[in-house]
Amino acid sequence: MNLSKKDEDSGDLGIFYHLDKSTVLQEARVFNETPIVPRKCRLLLTKIIYLLYLGEPMATTEATELFFSVTKLFQSKDIALRQMVYLVIKELSTIAEDVIMVTSSLMKDMQPKSEVIYRANAIRALCKVIDASMLPSVERFLKAAIVDKTPSISSAAMVSSYHLFPAGKDVIKRWANEVNEAINSKPSSIVGTASSYLTSFSSSGSSYNSQPSSSNISQYHALGLLYMIRQHDRMAVTKLIQQLAGSGRGTFGSSSGILRNSFAYCLLIRYAAKILDEDPNSRQQMYDLLEVWLRHKSDIVSFESAKAICNIKDVTSKELYPAVNVLQLFLSSPKSTLRFAAIRTLNKLAMVHPTAVQPCNLDMETLITDQNRSVATFAITTLLKTGNEASVDRLMKQITGFMSEISDEFKVIVVDAIRSLCLKFPTKQVVMLSFLSGVLRDEGGYEFKRAVVEAIFDLVKFIPESKEAALAHLCEFIEDCEFTKLSVRVLHLLGVEGPKTATPTKYIRYIYNRVILENSIVRAAAVSALAKFGVSVEDPEVKKSIKVLLTRCLDDNDDEVRDRAILFLKLIDDKECAEKYVKDDSTYSLAALERQLVQYVSNPESSEKPFDLSAVPKITKAQAEAENLKPRSFDLASIQTIGTSSAIASTGATAISTSRDATPTPGVDQQQIYSQQLEQIPEIAAFGPLFKSSIKPVDLTESETEYVVSCVKHMFKEHIVFQFIVTNTLNDQLLENVTVVMQPESDDGSLVEEFVIAAAKLPYDQPGSVYVAFKRTNPEEYALGSFSNTLKFLVKDCDPSTGEADEGGYDDEYLVEDIEIVTGDYILPTYISDFSSAWDDMGKDGEVVETFALTASKSLKAACATLIELLGMSPVENSGTPTSSSVHTLMLSGTFLGGIKLLAKNRMTFAPSSGVTMELSVRSSSEEISRIVIGAVV
């Protein structure tokens, strides 16, 4: 929003409304006048700040001239003027040039003999002007300021150090003792405060008297800076928490406690929660501290502690009980902010632990009529999650009453809660569908309408009884829908679900109305929806009617609409093509398609033959959406950006530089990320296109060990590359030239090691990758077996605080778990839309059938999961999850190394006495490959 825009309703233009940059710059000549007029200069400096705040662009030359004009005001002793000078210097320091020239004036104001108000502001301004190279020269001043008895000076030094830390870590880490002293300092009876900045000043400004303070805000700043210094040392952070929590767990403001500031306590609670989340061994100890802080006198500390307990992973009902009790008390607080904070936390908790929140239902019902509609909205949506089926009707009536009084943002929250409740109590779908259809007709923005439509979509998908009523409401909605995206989505759903209903013809009129009345995008979507009726409905009269309607679309003035009509008129008469192009909901994996196209274009040899589209895996649209929405299965930040590899040394190892800044783009498949990284290593890029990588790294050590190691297997046409991701968890050691020695279990010569690419350096808590490449001596054989692995490296002791390592070191090694090559590593999971047709087309020539008894499997679901993981194939036609507890058929599809198509059909039965019995049939173009796949189960 432009703050300078005229407020026509209020008629208040503001004193700076007509301010012009060029006029202000001309007026800056007043800074050169003698004597200096403080009042006039302060007003002009205020104008400059106002222009900068509005984002007024200022050229570097203009900013530099203005900057040095402002510095002449250091001659004045007026305190208020000096404060404005500091402020303008800070704002102009990022635009002007040669700002370093003002350093001497600022350092003069930082001297202990200067006024208190000068010192604090000078420190803040100085740290905006200097860079990392100048930090050592002011180190003495800043260290002294940190332990200063005046809180405003101490806080200014620590906040400035906090902002300088990314650029000067090594210098600021040496200040840990001073920062710790600031935390433990005793309160002074007469100290300066931040509130004194707002007091009026005498124009003579010869002295400045600070006011007493009891906020102890400097402890908050000191704790934040000290944590930043020690954040990579978990033991030091744990010790800090124990030290500060040791004697001050009791009451707020007690003289026995080290911390006397509630914000500092909140910060300490967050650090304790982080340690609890990262270190399972400290869980109980940290939880006990959080529970003690629940009884703190300060409401903000009690709430922060309760919130931290509610956010603990895998928290139990017993652990939640004290936190929920505290939040329940806050629900009846006279402070609206406290009620809002408590109900919002309970609302979030109810999504995961609804039973833990149920004791608060009576208190939340009283909040439904709260004057603050935000509190009332959260109260009623929380009740929807925790209430029982009997209370649904009563809650729905109350919701209807205030929907018109809340903003779209909170309406979306209500709709999402109703959607969850409807899926929880399907028998109440009539009441809720009626409510959703009602709000769909109300006024609202796109996000609100989209949330309602999504909720109705879920009812259609998960509650079959509501399908026809829901589709009818959606038909009415698109008659008067102002959002093109929503109209297109509804038309698509009508085209998919409409033909499956008992009377599909009643939807055709609504769809054709869109062809007549809407814009070209909606008309094109309507044509596609009509075509689905013509293809999916077997009634010849319906097909004839659809042809007539599509024929009318041939005269449309938009080419997209005409092209679709021509295409679908052709497909309706061609059943085989209709199955392929209309009914088939599969799509190519775009990430895999992009990767293979890049490899095809970049490889000169491949241009001699056409691109093989059949090698690109297919997935369902549902799988594509799930892939985009699901969280990363493991920490992608551990995957390193790989630098250019150097020449292979005499030892056969190549050094690789690593970086922690490589966070892959969300939505890009993991295979593509690995492929892009491996292509940057010439030795591995020479192996050709990547066939498959492990979906998830295999852990070879426990997460608590000194060296954490995991492995990813990369399969190429004739090579196998093992990528070992190694993390050094010891902060007093630096590892160099890290390699892995792999020894196969059986030395039959089927795999020959070609080279090892070492990680050059592994500092503390920075993962690095080691690559070991093997070649398959016989491409017709697919080697299986396990490898023993030994980590070898050069250890150098280093200073934990600075990270500086000693020059000398010693060789060491570390044994990790074995890694196996299994049949599933040679199989890439692929999707097919029609398994039966593909199974028949494959024929019985390469079929192998075996019967197995899985006595260890306790259910068909467990057997399916085991088989999918073992074979590395993709379940198709929703056969991955059994619908019966006794009989099931699992259908799998995949591609074997070399592009050989694989299909597997697994008929299984379950009996409690004998476990799972199954008949596994595998078909491929090669009987030998089928036997290899069958052998994976033996």
How crowded is residue 569: how many other Cβ atoms within 10 Å of its Cβ?
Answer: 17
In whole angstroms, what is the distance from residue 588 CA to residue 58 CA? 50
Of the pLDDT bands very low, low, confident and very high (cuts 50, 70, 90), residue 585 is: low
Residues with Cβ within 8 Å of residue 506, at least 6 apart in sequence = none
Q: Provide the percentage of residues in the chain whose pLDDT is more than 90.
A: 24
**What H or E segment, with its residue span, contains residue 919?**
strand 915-924
Higher pLDDT, 104 or 772: 772
Mean pLDDT for 136-150 is 88
Say what angle helices 540-552 and 559-572 make with each other, to 10 degrees. Answer: 150
Higher pLDDT, 67 or 210: 67
Q: Say how many domains are in the chain.
A: 3
In the chain, what's the furthest Cα-to-Cα distance? 104
Q: Determine, yes or no, domain membership for 751.
A: yes
Region of poorest pLDDT, from 169-183, 458-472, 851-865: 851-865
CATH number where 854 lies: 3.30.310.10
Higher pLDDT, 444 or 747: 444
Q: Determine, yes or no, domain membership for 568.
A: no
Write down the pLDDT at residue 12.
Answer: 45
DSSP symbols for 242-286: HHHHHS-SSSTT-TT-S---HHHHHHHHHHHHHHHHH-GGGHHHH
pLDDT greater than 70 at residue 214: no
State the first-to-last Cα distance of the chain, in angstroms, to the nearest integer: 68
Of the pLDDT bands very low, low, confident and very high (cuts 50, 70, 90), residue 293 is: very high
Higher pLDDT, 103 or 832: 103
Region of poorest pLDDT, from 390-399, 614-623, 630-639, 697-706: 630-639
Q: Bridge partners of 768?
A: 726
DSSP state of 313: T
Of the pLDDT bands very low, low, confident and very high (cuts 50, 70, 90), residue 272 is: very high
Tell me which of 781, 798, 821 is where a domain ends: 821
Contact call for residues 673 and 639 (beta carbons, < 8 A)? yes
Of the pLDDT bands very low, low, confident and very high (cuts 50, 70, 90), residue 669 is: low
Write down the pLDDT at residue 837.
Answer: 80
691 and 736 within one domain: yes
pLDDT greater than 70 at residue 129: yes
866 and 742 within one domain: no
Write down the pLDDT at residue 657.
Answer: 37
Of the pLDDT bands very low, low, confident and very high (cuts 50, 70, 90), residue 750 is: confident
Write down the pLDDT at residue 194.
Answer: 37
**What H or E segment, with its residue span, contains residue 157?**
helix 151-164
Write down the pLDDT at residue 650.
Answer: 32
Of the pLDDT bands very low, low, confident and very high (cuts 50, 70, 90), residue 202 is: very low
Amino acid identity for residue 721 in this structure: V
In whole angstroms, what is the distance from residue 147 CA to residue 150 CA? 9
In whole angstroms, what is the distance from residue 79 CA to residue 560 CA? 71
859 and 782 within one domain: no
Q: Determine, yes or no, domain membership for 781.
A: yes
Q: What are the pLDDT digits (tens) for 475-527?
A: 999 988 889 999 999 999 999 898 888 888 889 989 998 888 888 999 999 99
Q: How far is CA 146 from CA 157, 161, 257, 445, 771, in A?
A: 6, 9, 21, 51, 47
Higher pLDDT, 202 or 452: 452
Q: Provide the percentage of residues in the chain whose pLDDT is more than 70.
A: 88
Residues with Cβ within 8 Å of residue 422, at least 6 apart in sequence = 428, 429, 432, 433, 455, 458, 459, 463
Q: What are the pLDDT digits (tens) for 396-420?
A: 777 777 777 778 888 888 888 888 8
Write down the pLDDT at residue 320.
Answer: 93
**What does pTM read for this prediction?**
0.62
CATH number where 763 lies: 2.60.40.1480
Q: How far is CA 811 from CA 516, 729, 735, 797, 808, in A?
A: 79, 18, 10, 12, 10
pLDDT greater than 80 at residue 599: no
Write down the pLDDT at residue 661.
Answer: 32
Range of the domain at 775: 672-821
Write down the pLDDT at residue 481.
Answer: 87
374 and 342 within one domain: yes
Tell me which of 786, 801, 821 is where a domain ends: 821
In whole angstroms, what is the distance from residue 508 CA to residue 529 CA? 9
Amino acid identity for residue 581 in this structure: Y
Q: Determine, yes or no, domain membership for 700.
A: yes
In whole angstroms, what is the distance from residue 727 CA to residue 660 CA? 12
Q: Determine, yes or no, domain membership for 851.
A: yes
Higher pLDDT, 789 or 606: 789
Strand pairing report for 900-911 and 887-896: antiparallel
Mean pLDDT for 240-256 is 61
698 and 815 within one domain: yes
766 and 907 within one domain: no
Of the pLDDT bands very low, low, confident and very high (cuts 50, 70, 90), residue 166 is: confident
780 and 856 within one domain: no
Q: Name the H helices within 427-519.
A: 429-440, 446-462, 467-479, 484-497, 505-517
CATH number where 359 lies: 1.25.10
Write down the pLDDT at residue 278.
Answer: 85
840 and 806 within one domain: no
- Average pLDDT score over the chain: 82
333 and 348 within one domain: yes
Say what angle helices 176-184 and 135-146 make with each other, to 10 degrees. Answer: 20
Q: Determine, yes or no, domain membership for 489.
A: no
Region of poorest pLDDT, from 118-122, 651-655, 850-854: 651-655
903 and 842 within one domain: yes
Q: Which two tokens stand for residue 477?
A: 């909605």
Contact call for residues 774 and 757 (beta carbons, < 8 A)? no
CA atoms in the 13 A half-sphere facing the CB of 391:
17
Mean pLDDT for 40-59 is 89
Q: Determine, yes or no, domain membership for 906.
A: yes
879 and 804 within one domain: no
Tell me which of 799, 821, 843 is where a domain ends: 821
Write down the pLDDT at residue 620.
Answer: 65
Strand pairing report for 653-656 and 751-762: parallel
Write down the pLDDT at residue 717.
Answer: 87
Mean pLDDT for 816-823 is 90
pLDDT greater than 90 at residue 310: yes
Region of poorest pLDDT, from 253-257, 525-529, 716-720: 253-257
Compute the C-alpha angle 237/243/249, nearest 5°.
Answer: 115
Higher pLDDT, 139 or 114: 139
704 and 815 within one domain: yes
Q: What are the pLDDT digits (tens) for 321-357?
A: 999 999 999 999 999 999 999 999 999 998 888 889 9
Write down the pLDDT at residue 584.
Answer: 64
Mean pLDDT for 795-808 is 80
Q: Determine, yes or no, domain membership for 703.
A: yes
Of the pLDDT bands very low, low, confident and very high (cuts 50, 70, 90), residue 626 is: low
Write down the pLDDT at residue 624.
Answer: 62
Contact call for residues 223 and 131 (beta carbons, < 8 A)? no
Q: Which two tokens stand for residue 539?
A: 């009634």
pLDDT greater than 70 at residue 88: yes
